[in-house]
Structure 1
Amino acid sequence: MSLAVRAVSSSRDMGFDENTERGEKSDVALEGKAEATAERLGKHMPEADDEEEVDTKIELGPQYTLKEQLEKDKDDESLRKWKEQLLGSVNFENIGETLEPEVKILSLTILSPGRSDIVLTIPEGGKPKGSWFTLKEGTHYSFKITFEVNNNIVSGLKYTNTVWKTGIKVDSAKEMLGTFSPQPEPYTHVMPEDTTPSGMFARGSYTARTKFLDDDNRCYLEINYTFEIRKDWAAT
């Protein structure tokens, strides 16, 4: 029995008039309806932690091909020269009419002081057979990325890398490469130098996933691979 019902029974025994009693019964009924309504709403309203993320992506307006960008404001000499300077060595006679940029990762190269560069060929389907490369423990190294851009400007190209050992994530990295216009010659970008871990527990096999994405989260390449850390470099 609810407290509200007990309160109505007590008021009748104490001699309150009929109107007061009727008013209290109405209050009880309204309270019951309010509770029922709240219960129904509660079943359909998500908890704060379960609410879907609001899409806060900013709309930047219509996208243009590179050729359309150059045609715009072509009568403005200063603006035209600024665009040409921004685009660098683009062949203006062969500019693509495609909205989407084309980014092709040509190779990844391991650089380490006192050792010849190790050039990694990009595998078909993004999955190298076997271990892709070996790093020596306690060694300074960096990656050089070689890539080309065609059709349109790629904005906010970035590299992400996640590493696992025996199913446990042990490292995660992200590097912003930049914004690039189409050009005949490939671009190169050297990642900051890093050092491989050392010791018995650091040695062994690792799995990793590398991605190249732009500001629109368009993925140009995903590589899922394994590599090893050993006491010494692999024999060449």
Structure 2
Amino acid sequence: MAEADKEALSRKFSQASVCSVDDDDDDARPDDDHDTDAVLLGPRVPLKHQIELDKDDESLRRWKEQLLGTVDLAAVGDGAEPEVMILSLTIISPNRPELVLPFPLATNSKGYAFSLKDGSRYRLRLCFAVFNNIVSGLKYTNTVWKTGIKVENTKVMLGTFSPRPEPYTFELEEETTPSGMFARGSYSARTKFVDDDGKCYLDVSYYFEIRKDWPTSKPSREDEHEQKEV
């Protein structure tokens, strides 16, 4: 790769942010699909208040009791808005060590957050924590481009989660990386976590690489340089 290309790679899509409720995807690529299936919910109220309001609705009360389980209501606070912290993404591939990528993502000296072997099977494990209130309809979306062309647009409904001290984990279905000489090279991606209200908890863009072989367990001299956070 030419030096100019390396410099461009390290500069583009190098930001991670928590976006607001009314994020309108102005910075998305022109062909990126906008979500049109958001559910309009009523105003949020603190979790303790919700349970008090629902005490006369037997079916709703039982559903929330099942959802909340052993949640300590004294520890959830009085805020109405849920708080979701996206902790990590783990890449799981047969006969390979798990690759845990904490957020914010870090890149190597070439600007890649991670590298995959072409034609390899893998699955993703998402790890996130929920605080303060129930988050409804949490959704994971991932869009991938190669040479400016969208090659993947994944949307997965993760579900509804109650606040608790322990993080949640969610494994996606197994996939296979594209194979062959033309599939190898640099890819850009944008990953988001959004709830039913349209509130975005993480919006991160980054580069990754598909190559002929897996990276060696011992990093090259070039990759030993200080990593940069995305």
TM normalised by structure 1 equals: 0.70
Q: CA RMSD in A?
A: 2.3
Q: Distance in 2 between matches of 1:74 and 1:68?
A: 10
Aligned partner of 2:92 in structure 1 is 111
Aligned partner of 1:185 in structure 2 is 166
1:120/1:196 Cα in 2 relative to 1: closer, same or farther (>3 Å)? Answer: same
Instruction: For residues 180-234 of structure 1, give each alpha carbon's deviation from its aligned partner in whole angstroms, at most 9, with x where no partner exists.
Output: 0101110000011000001010000111100011111111001110000011111
1:192/1:93 Cα in 2 relative to 1: closer, same or farther (>3 Å)? Answer: same
Percent identity, aligned pairs only, is 63
The count of residues paired between Structure 1 and Structure 2 equals: 180
**Matched residue SS, 2:87:** strand
Larger Rg: 1
Partner amino acid, structure 2, of 1:156: G
- Between 1 and 2, higher relative CO (CA 8 Å, sep ≥ 6) is seen in 2
Q: Shift of the alpha carbon at 1:57? A: 7.3
Instruction: For residues 13-36 of structure 1, give each alpha carbon's deviation from its aligned partner in whole angstroms, at most 9, with x where no partner exists.
Output: xxxxxxxxxxxxxxxxxxxxxxxx
Q: Distance in 2 between matches of 1:162 and 1:56?
A: 17
**Matched residue SS, 1:63:** coil
Q: Distance in 2 between matches of 1:208 and 1:56?
A: 22
Match of 2:207 among 208, 221, 226: 226
TM normalised by structure 2 equals: 0.71
Q: Distance in 2 between matches of 1:77 and 1:111?
A: 42
1:138/1:82 Cα in 2 relative to 1: closer, same or farther (>3 Å)? Answer: closer
More helix by share: 1
Match of 2:149 among 158, 168, 190: 168
Q: Shift of the alpha carbon at 1:60? A: 3.9
Give the ranges of 4+ consecutive aligned residues of structure 1 lying more than 6 Å apart after TM superposition.
Answer: 55-58, 75-79
**Matched residue SS, 1:201:** helix
Partner amino acid, structure 2, of 1:207: S
Contiguous gaps of at least 5 residues in structure 2: 1-35, 218-230
